[in-house]
């Protein structure tokens, strides 16, 4: 069992007073954290661990000491009950974290970490979701124990009723709340007994989304039409994405000439860092002729990111990629009008297009390698949106009497 006490630091500070520390001892190992106050040696009762009445604020400081001891003891009991790490350092971290144990303080730490790790896309998506939750709570912070299944149900209804968001968008808001909550549980900031997610509580379930790609004839139209400079570049990026099995546009924009070796493309996916290689189709080689080697900084094939001074700064790179994708999508809208394509046309649709055309042509295990999915179930789930032959044949067998 660990022991928790208040001690006075022997060495005086600059004011000649002694700082008060919360001391935690576990398995003969000591960890200490300041409680933010100091007193003179004459005002400290070491035997009773309290401030003497000679101190003008003895009552208030003694109440603070009692509170700190109670918080630390409660946190220790909670950690031992949950069978988590109860080393002196772990208890110290949990006690320190409990000072900022409210939801939005932890949410800020989560967003800060996303920025520090260069995850611009996730941060830019999650920050407004957290802000909407705060608006729903009238800009007041909330303890994790107060986040109940009933509150989350009301929040979801608020999102749909006030902002008119889709079911999937509402669920994405709940996912962020769950992520912050899970981090708080993992850091021993809150007890899992109040966890509002799971069976019998709030269940996270994404609704099926409609995924539509271009058909082969529409892709041919994309390949053959003459376009002005901006639209041509957007079309080129779209086709390269399609030709490389629906490569994500962020990876297309990062392509370097050094990635092309021996008629193959070698690259690691930005999303999961999985490495692999693909044969370079002749159609890609024709597109690459429009982009002279050595024309762009950083050995980049395409000029979109060449103006950035440092491609290792992931957050800035992802931010600028978002800007470039938005610009390309605007050009693609013009292209779709010229081709009279009524389907939505964007860079991401190139991925859906490959999936749709490959649906009944490529085995799932091969597609798994092309998509670089860790689990074939992910591939099968994704492709199920585009495989219609079985259901079409079944329908025809009944109605074609």
Per-residue pLDDT tens for 281-334? 999 999 999 999 999 999 999 999 999 999 999 899 999 999 999 999 999 999
pLDDT for position 399: 64
- Average pLDDT, stretch 129-145? 90
The answer to the question of residue 322 being in a domain is yes
Q: CA dihedral defined by 70, 76, 82, 84, rounded to 10 degrees?
A: 150
Tell me: the pLDDT tens digits for 51-73? 999 998 888 888 888 888 887 77
E-strand spans in 269-396? 275-279
Of the pLDDT bands very low, low, confident and very high (cuts 50, 70, 90), residue 14 is confident
By mean pLDDT, which of 82-96, 172-186, 319-333 is the weakest? 82-96
What percent of the chain lies above the pLDDT cut of 70? Answer: 81
Enter the DSSP assignment of 207: P
pLDDT for position 142: 84
Please tell me which residue, 360 or 137, carries the higher pLDDT value. Answer: 137
> DSSP for 56-120?
TTHHHHHHHHHHHHHHHHHHHHHHHHTT---SHHHHHHHHHHHTT-BHHHHHHHHHHHHHHTT-H
**8 A C-beta contact, residue 246 and residue 351:** yes
Domain edge (last residue) among 134, 160, 194: 194
**8 A C-beta contact, residue 343 and residue 349:** yes
Instruction: Show Cβ contacts of residue 155 under 8 Å, excluding neighbours closer than 6 positions.
Output: 133, 136, 173, 174
pLDDT for position 112: 94
> DSSP for 306-322?
TT-S-TT-HHHHHHHHH
From 87, 107, 88, select the one nearest 24 (Cα to Cα). Answer: 88
Please indicate, yes or no, whether residues 35 and 142 belong to a single structural domain of this protein.
no
The answer to the question of residue 144 being in a domain is yes
Please indicate, yes or no, whether residues 346 and 289 belong to a single structural domain of this protein.
yes
Q: Please check the confidence at residue 82 and state whether its pLDDT lies above 90.
A: no
The answer to the question of residue 287 being in a domain is yes
Token pair, residue 65, equals 């000491």
Q: Please check the confidence at residue 385 and state whether its pLDDT lies above 90.
A: no
Please indicate, yes or no, whether residues 10 and 111 belong to a single structural domain of this protein.
no
Q: What CATH number does residue 254 fall under?
A: 1.10.443
Of the pLDDT bands very low, low, confident and very high (cuts 50, 70, 90), residue 130 is very high
Q: How does the average pLDDT of the chain come out, rounded?
A: 85
Please indicate, yes or no, whether residues 54 and 92 belong to a single structural domain of this protein.
yes
The answer to the question of residue 199 being in a domain is no
Give how far Cα 104 sits from Cα of 83, 125, 134, Å: 27, 16, 8
Determine if the pTM surpasses 0.75.
no
The answer to the question of residue 236 being in a domain is yes
Instruction: Name the residue range of residue 227's domain.
Output: 216-358
Please indicate, yes or no, whether residues 144 and 34 belong to a single structural domain of this protein.
no
Of the pLDDT bands very low, low, confident and very high (cuts 50, 70, 90), residue 276 is confident
Tell me: the pLDDT tens digits for 323-348? 999 999 999 999 999 999 999 899 99
Please indicate, yes or no, whether residues 19 and 122 belong to a single structural domain of this protein.
no
- Average pLDDT, stretch 232-244? 95
Please indicate, yes or no, whether residues 265 and 298 belong to a single structural domain of this protein.
yes
Domain edge (last residue) among 97, 126, 146: 97
Please indicate, yes or no, whether residues 350 and 221 belong to a single structural domain of this protein.
yes
How far apart CA 276 and CA 270 sit, in angstroms, is 12
Of the pLDDT bands very low, low, confident and very high (cuts 50, 70, 90), residue 47 is confident
The answer to the question of residue 354 being in a domain is yes
From 253, 238, 264, 364, select the one nearest 317 (Cα to Cα). Answer: 253
The answer to the question of residue 223 being in a domain is yes
Total structural domains within the chain? 3
Residues in the chain: 401
By mean pLDDT, which of 121-125, 194-198, 248-252, 356-360 is the weakest? 356-360
Domain edge (last residue) among 97, 115, 147: 97
Please indicate, yes or no, whether residues 165 and 257 belong to a single structural domain of this protein.
no
Please indicate, yes or no, whether residues 64 and 85 belong to a single structural domain of this protein.
yes
pLDDT for position 382: 54
From 99, 88, 90, select the one nearest 4 (Cα to Cα). Answer: 88
Greatest C-alpha distance within the chain: 102
């Amino acid at each position: 069992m660990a022991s928790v006490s208040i001690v006075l630091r022997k060495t005086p500070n600059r004011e000649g007073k002694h700082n008060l520390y919360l001391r935690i001892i576990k398995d003969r190992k000591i960890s200490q954290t300041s409680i933010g106050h100091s007193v003179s040696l004459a005002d400290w009762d070491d035997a009773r661990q309290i401030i003497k009445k000679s101190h003008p604020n003895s009552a208030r400081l003694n109440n603070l000491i009692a509170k700190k001891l109670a918080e630390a003891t409660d946190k220790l009991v909670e950690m031992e009950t949950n069978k988590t790490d109860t080393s002196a350092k772990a208890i110290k971290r949990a006690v320190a974290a409990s000072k900022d144990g409210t939801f939005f303080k932890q949410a800020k730490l989560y967003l800060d970490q996303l920025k520090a790790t260069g995850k611009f896309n996730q941060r830019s998506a999650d920050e407004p979701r957290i802000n909407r939750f705060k608006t729903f709570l009238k800009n007041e912070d909330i303890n994790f124990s107060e986040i109940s299944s009933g509150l989350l149900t009301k929040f979801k209804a608020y999102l749909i009723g006030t902002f008119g968001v889709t079911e999937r968008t509402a669920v994405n808001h709940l996912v962020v709340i769950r992520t912050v909550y899970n981090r708080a549980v993992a850091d021993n900031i809150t007890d899992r007994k109040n966890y509002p997610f799971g069976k019998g509580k709030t269940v996270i379930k994404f609704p099926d989304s409609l995924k539509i790609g271009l058909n082969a004839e529409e892709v041919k139209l994309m390949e053959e039409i003459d376009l002005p400079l901006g639209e041509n570049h957007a079309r080129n990026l779209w086709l390269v994405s399609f030709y490389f099995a629906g490569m994500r546009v962020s990876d297309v924009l990062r392509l370097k000439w050094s990635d092309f070796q021996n008629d193959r493309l070698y690259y690691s996916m930005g999303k999961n860092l999985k490495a692999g290689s693909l044969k370079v189709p002749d159609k890609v080689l024709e597109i690459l002729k429009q982009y002279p080697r050595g024309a762009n900084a950083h050995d980049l094939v395409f000029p979109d990111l060449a103006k950035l001074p440092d491609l290792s700064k992931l957050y800035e790179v992802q931010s600028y990629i978002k800007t470039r994708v938005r610009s390309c999508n605007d050009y693609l809208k013009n292209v779709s009008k010229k081709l009279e394509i009524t389907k939505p046309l964007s860079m991401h649709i190139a991925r859906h297009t490959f999936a749709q055309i490959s649906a009944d042509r490529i085995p799932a295990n091969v597609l798994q390698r092309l998509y670089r999915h860790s689990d074939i179930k992910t591939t099968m789930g994704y492709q199920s949106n585009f495989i219609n032959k079985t259901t079409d044949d079944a329908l025809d067998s009944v109605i074609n009497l």
